[in-house]
């Protein structure tokens, strides 16, 4: 069985402070990990994928297979980062069974 | 405009009255999925489809049916809705070989 754990339902940080949204997973095979974001009144959209190793809107995430983690980080939070963030996992290779975490609401305080 | 559409966007119904939520995509995507979103539980996959006539269960398929007769459409059917199916439902699609899922706007269903 595959499982995604996001331990924090709500994370509040001040503008300009570093952000780390935690994601841990449980999966016996080779996983693909994703971060999706949902801004207020907008659709859920992909933020980044572990294999791309790119930075999107200043966010990065590194897959740590030893710790089975895929934490999302940003060095300086901005007000427009306030949103719901979901970590998601699927089996490597395009298999479409996808498991999402419960989500973390990021609140950036001006 | 490339998009995933869902209808209706809001629905209030009574226990036991069959309903269908439609999902359509205009991107010629092979893969489509249905999710429900509940407070404290996040998104949970109900069913997914790899292509026409190919569907499989997600994590919470009980009480739901799907069909994929055309590539662009993936309706979600509740034969006998119950109050525990009150939720926000999302449809998503993606292309074979791609990793990004495109989500619809959501359908808020209330079963009384």
- Distances in whole angstroms, Cα of residue B92 to Cα of each of A14, A28, A98, B68, B106: 33, 26, 11, 14, 10
Looking at residue B100, its pLDDT comes to 83
**pLDDT at A55 exceeding the cut of 90:** no
For a pLDDT cut of 70, what percent of chain B falls above it?
98
**Optimal mutation site among B99, B104, B106, B107, interface A, most CBs of chain A within 10 A:** B99
Pick the residue of A5, A39, A43, A48 with the most B CBs within 10 A to test the interface with B by mutation. Answer: A43
Cα distance from B46 to chain A (closest Cα, Å)? 10
- Find the mean pLDDT for residues A80-101: 86
Residues of A in contact with B105 (CB under 8 A): 43
Among A45-54, B16-25, B41-50, name the one with the lowest average pLDDT: A45-54
pLDDT in tens, A8-23: 999 999 999 999 999 9
Q: Show residues of chain B in contact with A51, CB under 8 Å.
A: 99
Residues 6 or more apart whose Cβ sits within 8 Å of residue A29: A91, A92
Going by C-beta distance under 8 Å and a sequence separation of 6 or more, which residues neighbour residue A42?
A: none
Residue B43 has pLDDT above 80, yes or no: yes
Distance from CA of residue A86 to its chain's centroid?
Answer: 5
A32 vs B80, residue with greater confidence: B80
- Give the residue-averaged pLDDT of B40-53: 92
Pick from B21, B41, B39, B28: which is nearest to B2 by CA? Answer: B28
CA distance B59 to chain A (A): 8
> Which pLDDT does position B32 carry in this prediction?
93
Residue B100: DSSP 8-state: P
How close is the nearest chain B Cα to the Cα of A32, in Å?
9
Return all residues near B75 (Cβ < 8 A) that are at least 6 apart: B20, B21, B22, B23, B66, B67
Residue A51, φ and ψ in degrees, nearest 5: -70, -25
Distance from C-alpha of B70 to C-alpha of B96, rounded to nearest angstrom: 16
**What is the arithmetic mean of pLDDT over A67-75?**
95
Question: What mean pLDDT do residues A53-72 have?
Answer: 89
How high is the pLDDT of residue A69?
94
- Residue B19 touches chain A, beta carbons under 8 Å: no
Length, in residues, of chain B: 112
Cβ contacts of A6 on chain B, cutoff 8 Å: 42
User: Which of A91-105, B61-75, B96-110 is least confident?
Assistant: A91-105
For B99-108, write each residue's pLDDT tens digit.
Answer: 788 999 999 9
CB contact burial B87-104 (16+ within 10 A = b; e otherwise): bebbbbbbbeeeeebbbb
pLDDT number for residue B104: 96
pLDDT in tens, B86-97: 999 999 998 876
Res B66: pLDDT:
97
| B-interface mutation test, from A94, A95, A99, most B Cβ less than 10 A away | A94
Instruction: Determine the residue of chain A that is closest to B47 in CA distance.
Output: A97
Within 10 Å of residue B83's Cβ, how many Cβ atoms?
10
B93 near A CB under 8 A: no
- Asked whether the predicted pLDDT for residue A29 surpasses 90, the reply is no
Confidence of residue A25 (pLDDT cuts 50, 70, 90): very high
């Amino acid at each position: 069985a595959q499982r995604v754990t996001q331990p924090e339902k709500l994370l509040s940080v001040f503008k300009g402070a570093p952000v780390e949204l935690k994601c841990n997973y449980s999966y016996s095979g080779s996983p693909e990990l994703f971060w999706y974001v949902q801004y207020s009144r907008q659709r859920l959209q992909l933020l980044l994928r572990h294999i791309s190793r790119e930075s999107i809107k200043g966010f990065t995430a590194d897959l740590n297979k030893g710790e089975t983690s895929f934490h999302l980080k940003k060095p300086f939070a901005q007000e427009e980062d306030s949103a719901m963030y979901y970590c998601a996992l699927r089996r490597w290779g395009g298999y479409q069974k996808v498991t999402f975490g419960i989500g973390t609401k990021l609140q950036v305080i001006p | 405009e490339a998009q995933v559409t869902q209808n209706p966007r809001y629905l209030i119904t009574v226990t036991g009255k069959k309903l269908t939520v439609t999902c359509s995509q205009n991107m010629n995507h092979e893969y489509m999925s249905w999710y429900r979103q509940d407070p404290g539980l996040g998104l949970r996959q109900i069913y997914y489809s790899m292509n026409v006539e190919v569907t499989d269960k997600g994590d919470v398929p009980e009480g739901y049916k799907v069909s994929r007769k055309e590539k662009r459409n993936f309706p979600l059917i509740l034969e006998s809705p119950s109050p525990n199916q009150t939720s926000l439902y999302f449809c998503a699609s993606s292309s074979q070989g791609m990793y990004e899922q495109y989500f619809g706007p959501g359908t808020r269903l209330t079963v009384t």
